[in-house]
């Protein structure tokens, strides 16, 4: 319960930070869209229409109040500029975000399903064969993948799997009509990129969590009671390693979501990251706020889940004295 309320506070604080950052940025939506040659009166009119003329604090609480009612507002862009123009062309933020959020969740979901089992298996086996050539090469390679920035990894994949050996497309444009198979095929490269950048960290942390536990006394005890190497790791070490491992997975899933901002840009994938970058460019505050809120709450929720796993996997917390 305490964790939950702390999480809410975090999300709230985050929205304040985003909002105030925007107030400090030079220019606003009106000046960005109308250009440098715009007349002062035109800018003023647009501001009045968007509500940008109100003081920031008022605007923030207006926005916050609406969010609590489930209304994330309308995007600034795409609305009618001229009064009396037929119809209102402004788009609801929710309608803008939901399809893209689905795309992003698909991308990161597939990447996670690939990265988590792979890194667990690699990490555990590296711990099992500690200091073997296998262990050394696995930890060495993972260090390289962790240290390379996302866009670099992405371009290497493009070079290898799209240009030299054209197996996968470089542009991952999907739409509502795409079939599942098509989606898998088109998103292969961004999925690989996201997998690779997060796997190294998860694998290394799994390995060190297991190795840490292997030096404890109950492991020696298990060995001396005749347990095999496999039994020692799976039955005795792993149950005590879930808490640290789930923490690392949570951090990496969140990192994956953030990393998707860059990766979606590189592969021109219609996801929420790309939407956010574009909106920051336009100073389209409602959209940016909503995106940021989604990122922040994912972070908080993932960490909550990790804490929960930590509690469930630890009898000390589950069964008090």
Q: Of the listed pieces 61-69, 112-120, 225-233, 287-295, which binds another protein according to CB under 8 A?
A: 225-233
Q: Of the listed pieces 48-56, 135-143, 151-159, 310-318, which binds another protein according to CB under 8 A?
A: 310-318
Comparing CB distances to another protein, the nearer of 222 and 305 is 222
Q: Does 1 bind another protein (CB under 8 A)?
A: no
HEC states along the chain? CHHHHHHHHHHHHHHHHHHHHHHHCCCCHHHHHHCCCCCHHHHHHHHHHHCCCCCHHHHHHHHHHHHHCCCCCECCCCCCCCCCCCCCCCCEHHHHHHHHHHHHHHHHHHHHHHHHHHHHHHHHHHHHCCCCHHHHHHHHHHHHHHHCCHHHHHHHHHHHHHHHCCCCCCCCCCCCCCCHHHHHHHCHHHHHHHHHHHHHHHHHHHHHHHHHHHCCHHHHHHHHCCCCHHHHHHHHHHHHHHHHHHHHHHHHHHHHHHHHHHHHHHCCCCCHHHHHHHHHHHCCHHHHHHHHHHHHHHHHHHHHHHHHHHHHCCHHHHCCC
User: What mask, x for binding another protein by CB under 8 A, covers residues 204 to 223?
Assistant: ------------xxx-xxxx
User: What mask, x for binding another protein by CB under 8 A, covers residues 259 to 298?
Assistant: ----------------------------------------
Residues 230-249 that bind another protein (CB under 8 A): 235-236, 239-240
Nearest distance from C-beta of residue 243 to another protein, angstroms: 10
With CB under 8 A, what is the number of residues at the site for another protein? 22
Residues 68-97 that bind another protein (CB under 8 A): none
Q: Which of 13, 228, 281, 308 binds another protein (CB under 8 A)?
A: 228
Comparing CB distances to another protein, the nearer of 40 and 321 is 321
């Amino acid at each position: 319960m305490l964790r939950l309320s702390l999480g809410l506070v975090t999300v709230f604080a985050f929205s304040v930070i985003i909002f105030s950052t925007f107030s400090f940025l030079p220019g606003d939506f009106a000046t960005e869209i109308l250009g440098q040659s715009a007349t002062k009166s035109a800018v003023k009119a647009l501001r009045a229409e968007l509500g940008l003329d109100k003081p920031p604090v008022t605007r923030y609480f207006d926005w916050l109040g609406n969010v609590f009612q489930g209304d994330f507002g309308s995007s600034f862009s795409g609305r009618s500029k001229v009064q009396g123009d037929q119809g209102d062309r402004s788009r609801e933020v929710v309608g803008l975000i939901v399809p893209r959020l689905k795309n992003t969740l698909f991308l990161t979901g597939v990447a996670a399903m690939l990265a988590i089992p792979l890194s667990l298996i690699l990490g555990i086996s590296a711990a099992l064969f500690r200091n073997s050539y296998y262990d050394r090469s696995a930890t060495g390679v993972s260090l390289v993948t962790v240290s390379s920035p996302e866009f670099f990894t992405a371009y290497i994949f493009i070079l290898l799997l799209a240009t030299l050996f054209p197996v996968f497309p470089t542009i991952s444009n999907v739409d509502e009509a795409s079939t599942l198979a098509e989606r898998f095929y088109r998103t292969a490269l961004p999925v690989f990129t996201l997998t690779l950048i997060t796997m190294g960290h998860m694998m290394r942390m799994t390995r060190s969590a297991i190795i840490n536990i292997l030096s404890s006394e109950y492991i020696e005890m298990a060995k001396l009671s005749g347990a095999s190497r496999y039994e020692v790791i799976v039955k005795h070490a792993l149950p005590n390693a879930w808490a640290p491992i789930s923490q690392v997975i949570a951090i990496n899933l969140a990192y994956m979501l953030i990393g998707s901002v860059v990766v979606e840009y590189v592969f021109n994938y219609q996801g929420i990251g790309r939407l956010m970058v574009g909106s920051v460019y336009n100073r389209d505050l409602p959209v940016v706020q909503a995106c940021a809120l989604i990122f922040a709450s994912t972070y908080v929720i993932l960490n909550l889940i990790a804490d929960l796993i930590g509690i469930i996997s630890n009898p000390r917390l589950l069964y008090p004295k």
